Every structure is written in C-alpha cells, then in structure tokens.
C-alpha cells in the first residue's frame, strides 16, 4: 500500500498551524505559506528538486515540536531554554521522515538571524541555506500577514532589502525580493494557498510497510499527545495496544502497520481544541463538551484529503462510535463499523479509563475492565473484543504496553 506523504505532511502542518495560532497568534495557513515561499525561492536559486522539496517540508513542519514547547512551559516562566529545545526537538522529529536530501539544520536553525543575533547566535555563513530561506519566509509572513487580500507589495519589498544582512541573509533576501510579486501575493492568500501548493509541490508516495511509516506514527503521536498534560501518552498508548491486539488477531504486517498509524493519528483533531477545555479540571459545560466531541470530526477532516488513506481515516475517526448508534461524530451503528473500528473504540476507552485525567485518577487493569464489560453489556462496544482485551492486557502492568521496535514493525 502506498500513501501520499505530501498530503499527510500538509494535513499535519495544517493542524500545527491551528496550535501556533493559539499559542503565538501566528497567521492562518502559516506553514503552507512558508512551504510555498521556500519552494519558490529554491526554484529561483536553481536548487535541485529533491533539495527544494525537503526544504518545503521543513517549512511545513518547522514548528512540529510546538506542542512539546507547550507542555514544557506550563507553569514556568523560563521559556527561552524551552524555546531553544523546540528547535532541537523539532529537528530530531523532522529527521524521522524519509527525506530526499540532507535535512541538517533546516528546522533547528529557522530562528537564526544573518547578523548572529538569533536563537543559537549563528552568523550568515554558518546557517544552512534551507534554514535561511525558511527563517526569511517565517518572519515575512508573521510581519506582513500575507493571508490577507491586499498587503503593500512595494513596502514588503523595501523591508526585505532593508533587513538584508541583519535579519535575513543576503541569499535569502535577494531570492525573496525576486519572487515577491503581485502574483506571489495572490497565491499566498488563504483562499488560494492550497491550490498554489498543489501546483508547485509534486506528489510524494511512500510504502506503508516501511521505517518511514513507523517514524511517522511516532512523530504524529508526539505532536498530538503533548498538546495536553492529560493526554501526553494517550495516542502512543493506543498505538502500542492496537499493535499488540492486531498481533493477537494474526493480522499481516501491512494491516498491522495501517492500524498502528491510524491509532497514532486518531486524536489529531484535538489539536484544534483549545487547551483551556482539554485541561479543564472541573466539569465541562454542555458547550465545552460539544467542543471536545468535535475533535473526532476534525480528525476525519484533517485525514480526509489524503489519497489512499480512507481506511486509516475511518479507523482513526470511528473511535467514539457505538454499536447501538449513540456514539459520535457520525452516529454509526454495528452495521457500519468494521472489526478494526470496533477494536479502536475499545482500545480508546481502555486507555482513557486507565490513564490519569482531569476528572479521575489513573486506574489499574482490574479497575478498568468492569467499566468496559458494563459498556459491552449495554451494547455500546463489542463484547468479544472486550473479553480478548481483558485476556491480553492482563499481562501488562498498569496497561503499560511497550512500543514495538522497528524490527517488529518491518
């Protein structure tokens, strides 16, 4: 099975844009615009196709460790060190992907200035070229809000040149000045950016049975789980349990890989939900609960635009459906839910019950299973899967199922 890696990265990048808007007030579609500006500059500089695409994906995911920054800075005023770490961690995460050219420093150094006053004090000659381009695009988009209909082109071009050698490196400033036109500004607007990217960034297919997919699942779970203190092991826990259960059911490696990835991505829609609701220690209002519930629909929407991803999309977004049709978001019933969707629902409930949440303490396996059995008796979840889960998970202390190794995954 092959999937469109470019579409998946764009989907993850779109979710990260929402987080960045919440945390820093970044513009809408920020990552998309950085990717387009970066690839246009690469073409202007005559860089190879592989280099250009790798830099564009670095632009998409330049703040992939933003949720880790969120988690690290809750309750602390020492944000500078953690801000450095989000660049370091982001680079490590980015290098998990099967990139087509050397990714060194692309994400780590996207906050550097040409004159050495950036985060890591690198000078123009020390900053990797791709990071120079991403840094330039990042600052320009934030400064000039290019998502709007009619920014002042002459003013932007003057500011680019005025910052050459200080904020922007000479190469990046000259390339950006050259590509910055009325046509470019039109492409960068929110209503046009998706179509423009499709024109300039070619399709990228990868095999689901690969180290890349294992790493992508790991990266996705990290991005999603760190968004909230109370879900920082949720997606990885579900992915690990789904892997074990799919092995128990003797699914082949390709199917297990797809299930593992779907489990890692199942809560990607929670990136859209504000932290003040996700981490609220008290009872949610009716409106807040409806907002929480909407994460499932957002997961569906985020994953819906990826060619060949239909099964993974459904398995990921069916995890709150019930056999009697009373679940959400689509109100599916037993006839609509295949075995994997049913397994995913049981896995999600088990993980949510066993782990600490704002409204309950962590529970043991023995404390968790009566809740699942009661739900099976009510006709909400599959009774046989619940029984199988009890049999398999009883062998893991406190439900701590280890992450599969890359050798197991392949």
55 conformational bin, left if phi > 0, alpha if psi -120 to 50, beta if neither = alpha
CA 399 to chain centroid: 25
Over residues 144-166, the mean pLDDT reads: 92
Average pLDDT over residues 144-161: 91
pLDDT at 407: 84
pLDDT digits (tens, 9 = 90+) for 21-66: 877 778 889 999 999 999 999 999 999 999 999 999 999 999 998 8
Per-chain mean pLDDT for the chain: 91
Per-residue pLDDT, 229: 67
Q: How confident is the model at residue 78 (pLDDT cuts 50, 70, 90)?
A: low
Strand locations in 168-252, DSSP E?
205-207
375 or 99: whose pLDDT is higher? Answer: 375
| % the chain with pLDDT above 90 | 66
pLDDT in tens, 294-331: 999 999 999 998 988 999 999 999 999 999 999 999 99
For residues 52 and 210, the model is more confident at 52
- d(CA 365, CA 396) in angstroms, rounded, equals 8
The DSSP output letter for 168 is B
Average pLDDT of the residues in 72-81: 69
Q: Provide DSSP, 37-105.
A: HHHHHHHHTT--HHHHHHHHHHHHTTTTTHHHHHHHHTT-S-HHHHHHHHHHHHHHHHTTS--SS--TT
Query: Tokens 């680079």 appear where?
Result: 91
Residue 230 has pLDDT above 90, yes or no: no
pLDDT for the residue 231 = 63
- The more confidently predicted of residues 409 and 264 is 264
Cα distance between residue 90 and residue 40, in whole Å: 23
Which of 114-118, 333-337, 403-407 is predicted with the least confidence, judged by mean pLDDT? Answer: 403-407
Query: Could you tell me which residues come within 8 angstroms of residue 227 by beta carbon, excluding any fewer than 6 positions away?
Result: 19, 67, 70, 71, 270, 271, 275, 278
Give dist(CA 229, CA 259) in Å, integer.
25
What is the arithmetic mean of pLDDT over 165-188?
A: 97
* Cβ within 8 Å of residue 51, ≥6 positions away: 42, 100, 101, 130
What distance in Å separates the CA atoms of residue 319 and residue 17, rounded to the nearest whole number?
24
Q: Supply φ then ψ for residue 362, to 5 degrees.
A: -65, 150
Q: How many separate helices (H) and strands (E) can be counted in the chain?
A: 21, 2
**pLDDT beyond 70 at 251:** yes
Please give the Cα distance from 76 to 408 (Å, whole number): 39
Distance (Å) of CA 353 to CA 267, 347, 361:
16, 10, 9
The pLDDT score that the predictor gives to residue 358 is 65
- What pLDDT score was predicted for residue 22? 76
Calculate the CA 68 to chain-centre distance.
12
Dump pLDDT digits (tens) for 86-112: 899 999 999 988 899 999 999 999 999
Select the more confidently predicted residue: 155 or 229: 155
CA distance 168 to 181: 18
Residue 123 pLDDT:
95
- pTM over 0.85, yes/no: yes
Closest among 349, 91, 32 to 219, alpha carbons compared: 91
Per the model's pLDDT, the better-predicted residue between 224 and 333 turns out to be: 333
pLDDT of residue 42: 98
Structural domains in the chain, CATH included, are 2-205 (1.10.3210.10), 208-409 (1.10.3210.10)
pLDDT reported for residue 116: 97
Would you say residue 228 has pLDDT above 80?
no
């Amino acid at each position: 099975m092959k999937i469109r890696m470019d579409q998946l990265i764009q989907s993850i990048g779109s979710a990260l844009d929402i987080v960045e808007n919440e945390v820093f007030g970044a513009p809408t579609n920020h990552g998309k615009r950085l990717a387009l500006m970066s690839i246009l500059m690469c073409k202007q500089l005559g860089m190879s196709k592989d280099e250009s695409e790798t830099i564009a994906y670095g632009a998409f995911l330049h703040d992939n460790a933003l949720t880790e920054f969120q988690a690290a800075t809750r309750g602390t005023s020492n944000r500078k060190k953690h801000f450095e770490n989000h660049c370091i961690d982001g680079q490590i995460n980015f290098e998990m992907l099967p990139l087509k050219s050397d990714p060194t420093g692309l994400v780590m150094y996207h906050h550097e200035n040409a004159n050495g006053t950036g985060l890591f004090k690198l000078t123009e000659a020390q900053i990797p070229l791709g990071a120079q381009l991403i840094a330039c695009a990042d600052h320009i988009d934030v400064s000039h809000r290019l998502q709007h209909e009619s920014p002042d082109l002459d003013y932007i071009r003057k500011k680019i040149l005025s910052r050459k050698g200080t904020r922007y490196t000479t190469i990046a400033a000259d390339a950006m000045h050259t590509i910055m036109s009325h046509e470019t500004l039109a492409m960068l607007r929110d209503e046009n950016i998706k179509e423009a990217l499709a024109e300039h960034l070619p399709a990228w297919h990868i095999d689901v049975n690969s180290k890349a997919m294992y790493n992508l699942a790991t990266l996705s779970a990290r991005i999603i789980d760190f968004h909230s203190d109370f879900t920082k092991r949720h997606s990885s826990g579900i992915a690990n349990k789904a892997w074990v259960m799919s092995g128990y059911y003797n699914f082949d490696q390709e199917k297990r890989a797809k299930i593992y990835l779907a489990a890692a991505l199942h809560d990607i829609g929670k990136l859209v939900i504000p932290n003040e609701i996700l981490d609220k220690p008290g009872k949610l209002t009716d409106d807040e609960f409806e907002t929480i519930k909407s994460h499932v629909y957002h997961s569906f929407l985020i994953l819906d635009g990826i060619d060949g991803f239909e099964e993974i999309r459904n398995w990921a977004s069916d995890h709150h459906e019930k056999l009697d049709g009373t679940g959400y978001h689509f109100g599916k019933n037993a006839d609509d839910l295949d075995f994997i969707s049913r397994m995913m629902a049981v896995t999600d409930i088990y993980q949510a019950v066993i782990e600490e949440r704002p409204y309950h303490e962590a529970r043991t396996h023995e404390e968790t299973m009566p809740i699942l059995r009661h739900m099976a008796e009510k006709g909400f979840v599959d009774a046989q899967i619940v029984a199988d889960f009890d049999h398999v998970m009883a062998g893991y202390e406190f439900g701590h199922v280890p992450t599969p190794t890359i050798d197991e995954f392949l």
